[in-house]
């Protein structure tokens, strides 16, 4: 997220991700200024403490200071433009018969800029000339949003009041599950908006905006992020912006030494570390904590667009297994690797639960004599010509009699496989025990 364009009132892009209060990085290469990247700011300067704290920063998780969040840290919005075109001679107009519409729609049947909308609320109203009725169209957005602008489009004389562009603004404050990254490519998911009073604090009372786990450094070797931590800190300290252009430092004149000396001159530790105090009990921590300013970006992958749940729902017509797809209410695939994981743990009942009971379990006939699941026919009760109820017993079309016909529970996909095999002249026989 960032500043994709500067013509907010005029743009009509399908979807834009905007950062509300971006700041300029304190450590950047010359190209940043050459291409005037400050005009399209893309991130926020965060106070970062490199510490393993609580466990909510394990692996690639990241703790965000709740106070920083409340101050608007990394607040973003999505701008969506919708083009509405009416057929024939129909035109936008608010229905006079529905007084409730007045709260949301203007006389022209459209919401005015600034109106708050929600899922299923009236979005616009028009007069359908063909049926001579007013029609109200509901908003299909899943989230609450605000109307940013409403514009009539096209040739005004020819298409007057028939084509409109409505831009909606969807607020997206940072939430648990949203993605962030430093410019070194250290991406992480917000795992908690941690109360500031419980976070560690420095001797000057500074509380980090972001808690970054130190285990992210050794394997990824993002030395640039460590240099940035020190450079950012010294830049903030001395009111400077540091040059991050490659090859400006050498083995004799190292970046670490340069920024270390600047930090020292400002009264800080040469290595960029600080004494921190536990936010929980106030005790001084025995380890020195690497603490500084890093330019963080908010990435466009947000939980709201990705979350997926299913209890029961639609199934595939052929396999009778749950369908896939987030939009269609499908399930999350429990694939081969997941299956192997459960096998390796000996979790047989969980495996059966996932792959059978909660999937394509079917109750079907089987003949234990010939082992076929396709040949047996169900017992049916029918009315004879004389009007009497007549019962037809279970029969097996292979054996001729139905004495050995019973029921079994199998995955439907197995039955489907047997049917497909029969179509190429392969007969599948089951060996059944204790039927």
Residues in contact with Zn ion by CB under 5 A are 367, 369-370, 396, 398-399
Of 102 and 403, CB closest to Zn ion: 403
Nearest distance, CB of residue 406 and Zn ion, angstroms: 11
Give the torsion sign (CA, 118, 121, 126, 130).
Answer: positive
Of 255 and 373, CB closest to Zn ion: 373
8 A C-beta contact, residue 181 and residue 296: yes
Q: How far is 237 from 286, CA to CA, in rounded Å?
A: 25
Nearest distance, CB of residue 404 and Zn ion, angstroms: 6
Of 119 and 378, CB closest to Zn ion: 378
Helix (H, G, I), strand (E, B) or coil at 188: strand
Nearest distance, CB of residue 383 and Zn ion, angstroms: 28
8 A C-beta contact, residue 290 and residue 223: no
Nearest distance, CB of residue 370 and Zn ion, angstroms: 3
Strand arrangement, sheet containing 76-85: 15-19, 76-85, 163-172, 145-152, 116-117
Of 370 and 430, CB closest to Zn ion: 370
For residues 10, 16, 17 and 20, what is the CA-based torsion angle, rounded to 10 degrees? 10
Nearest distance, CB of residue 403 and Zn ion, angstroms: 9
Q: How far is 79 from 12, CA to CA, in rounded Å?
A: 9
Nearest distance, CB of residue 399 and Zn ion, angstroms: 3
Of 401 and 420, CB closest to Zn ion: 401
Half-sphere exposure of 345 (CA within 13 A, CB side): 10
Is 109 exposed, middle or buried (CB count within 10 Å of its CB: 0-12, 13-18, 19+)? buried
**DSSP states along 317-359:** TTT-SBPB-TTTT-BPP--HHHHHHHHHTT-HHHHHIIIIIII
Of 26 and 396, CB closest to Zn ion: 396
Of 156 and 407, CB closest to Zn ion: 407
Nearest distance, CB of residue 396 and Zn ion, angstroms: 3
Nearest distance, CB of residue 342 and Zn ion, angstroms: 35
Of 196 and 399, CB closest to Zn ion: 399
8 A C-beta contact, residue 367 and residue 432: no
């Amino acid at each position: 997220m960032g500043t994709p364009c500067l013509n907010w009132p005029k743009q009509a892009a399908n979807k834009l991700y905007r950062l509300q209060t971006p700041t300029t990085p304190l450590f950047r290469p010359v190209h940043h200024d050459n291409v005037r990247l400050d005009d399209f700011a893309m991130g926020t300067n965060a106070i970062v403490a490199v510490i393993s704290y609580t466990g909510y920063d394990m692996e690639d998780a990241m703790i965000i200071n709740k106070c920083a969040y409340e101050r608007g840290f990394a607040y973003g919005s999505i701008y969506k433009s919708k083009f509405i075109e009416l057929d024939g001679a129909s035109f936008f107009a608010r229905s006079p018969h529905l007084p409730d519409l007045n709260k949301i729609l203007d006389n022209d049947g459209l919401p005015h800029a600034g109106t708050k909308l929600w899922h299923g609320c009236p979005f616009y109203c028009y007069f359908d000339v063909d049926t001579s009725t007013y029609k109200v169209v509901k908003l299909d957005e899943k989230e609450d949003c605000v109307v940013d602008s409403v514009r009539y489009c096209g040739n005004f004389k020819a298409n007057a009041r028939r084509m409109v562009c409505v831009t909606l603004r969807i607020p997206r404050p940072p939430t648990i599950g949203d993605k962030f990254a430093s410019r070194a490519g250290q991406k992480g998911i917000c795992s908690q908006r941690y109360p500031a009073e419980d976070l560690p604090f420095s001797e000057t009372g500074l509380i980090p905006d972001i808690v970054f786990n130190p285990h992210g450094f050794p394997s990824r070797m993002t030395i640039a992020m460590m240099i940035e931590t020190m450079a950012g800190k010294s830049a903030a300290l001395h009111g400077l912006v540091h040059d991050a252009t490659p090859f400006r430092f050498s083995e004799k004149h190292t970046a670490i030494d340069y920024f270390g000396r600047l930090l020292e001159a400002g009264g800080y530790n040469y290595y960029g570390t600080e004494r921190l105090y536990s936010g929980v009990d106030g005790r001084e921590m025995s380890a020195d904590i690497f603490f500084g300013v890093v330019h963080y970006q908010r990435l466009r992958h947000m939980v709201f667009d990705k979350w997926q749940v299913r209890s029961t729902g639609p199934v595939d017509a052929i396999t009778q297994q749950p369908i896939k797809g987030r939009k269609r209410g499908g399930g999350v695939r429990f694939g081969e690797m997941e299956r192997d994981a459960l096998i390796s743990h000996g979790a047989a009942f969980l495996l059966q639960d996932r792959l059978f009971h909660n999937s394509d379990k079917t109750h079907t006939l089987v003949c234990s004599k010939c082992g076929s699941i396709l040949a047996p026919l169900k017992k049916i009760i029918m009315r004879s010509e004389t009007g009497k109820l007549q019962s037809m017993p279970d029969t097996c079309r292979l054996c001729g009699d139905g004495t050995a016909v019973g029921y079994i529970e199998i995955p439907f996909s197995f039955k489907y496989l047997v049917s497909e095999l029969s179509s190429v002249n392969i007969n599948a026989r089951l060996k059944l025990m204790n039927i």
